[in-house]
Amino acid sequence: MTLHQIRYFLVLAQELHFWKTSEKVHLSQSSLSRQIQALEDELGVTLFERDKRNVKLTEAGHFLKEQWHQLIDEFDRVHLQAKKIHDGATGNISITYPGSIAYNYLPELLNTFSECMPEVKIELMEPKDEDHEHLLLNYLVDISFSRDLINNPSIQSEKLYTEQVCIVVPKNHWLTEENFQGIKDIEAERFILSGLHHTTFFASLLRQIFTNAGIEPNIHIESDFGGMILNLVSKGLGISILPYSFKEASNSQVRFIPLTEEVDLYINWRKNDQSKVLNKVITKSIELASTFNSLQKND
């Protein structure tokens, strides 16, 4: 018994006409008749009552028509799902990201996924920067967007784009882009910063900024989550230094003052991961970054 024979039976059970059925299944009437006879012989069941003019289902035929119709539909759905997985059109993908890209690049990327891979489920996680490598190597996530290049022989990384770092102050703060002369200007300010003790690139960049200016920042509040820092600055609790991307948060209670320093965004994934969904996500991420980088430069 083959799937083809079951499909031939179901069409014939619907049409009850050998000639019409043979046209639908692209088989000669004699070949169709032999396939149905072989199916009946194997089952030991008469499926049709037929004479020169009429074809009718037997009771056993009626029963198998109902049962096999459901089974074939389920089989076709399973087959289609397997094909989608093979083609990278469906599945799950887990992503970690720095909070700064949650306001511009990441939403645009998720919109792209929604349009071209609507059946792919995306899981998002915003960890501390030090955790990205650990999460990838332990198969807890599939892709990591990070500010740091991950140097590990088991991980592949590619730089997506570069952006400026900015001083962020409350809307009514005395410091403006026009009167800003250098970091020394804000030596007496209270800062809300990511932990300077971290080993990440951004923490190193902050330390370098203060070292070059010859000042020791007065850190009033420490947080590793940029969204929280932005809200605290908007409340007048201090000032901060954040990537330019946070400007897209559209917080009208803060102002951004660009510095000359820059930070990068990388996409990282496990080497030799053959997931077609993963490869599609990586490709789309790089394509969007190219467009996004051009827009950043034109701002």
Grade residue 90 by pLDDT with cuts at 50, 70 and 90: low
Mean pLDDT for the chain?
87
Nearest in space to 277 (alpha carbons), one of 177, 142, 110? 142
Beta bridge partners of 262: 164
Q: Listing from the earlier edge strand, what are the strands of the sheet with 240-243? A: 119-125, 90-96, 143-146, 254-270, 155-170, 240-243
Domain boundaries, the chain: 3-87, 90-160+265-298, 162-264
| pLDDT per residue as tens digits for the range 42-55 | 999 999 998 777 88
Strand 190-193 and strand 218-222: pairing?
parallel
Does residue 81 have a pLDDT over 80?
no
| pLDDT per residue as tens digits for the range 140-174 | 888 999 988 888 998 999 999 999 999 999 999 99
Alpha carbons 59 and 265: distance in angstroms, whole number? 67
Beta bridge partners of 242: 166
How many Å separate Cα 213 from the centre of its chain? 40
Please indicate whether the domains covering 3-87 and 90-160+265-298 agree at the CATH topology level.
no
Cα angle: 113, vertex 250, 147; to 5 degrees: 60
The answer to whether residues 157 and 267 touch, using CB atoms and an 8 Å cutoff, is yes
Does residue 179 have a pLDDT over 80?
yes
CATH T-level topology, domain 3-87 = Arc Repressor Mutant, subunit A (1.10.10)
- pTM beyond cutoff 0.95: no
| pLDDT per residue as tens digits for the range 102-130 | 988 999 999 988 888 787 888 898 876 66
Mean pLDDT to the nearest integer, 198-223: 92
pLDDT above 70 coverage of the chain, percent: 92
CATH T-level topology, domain 90-160+265-298 = D-Maltodextrin-Binding Protein; domain 2 (3.40.190)
CATH T-level topology, domain 162-264 = D-Maltodextrin-Binding Protein; domain 2 (3.40.190)
Grade residue 293 by pLDDT with cuts at 50, 70 and 90: low
* Sequence-distant (≥ 6) Cβ neighbours of residue 116 within 8 angstroms: 280, 284
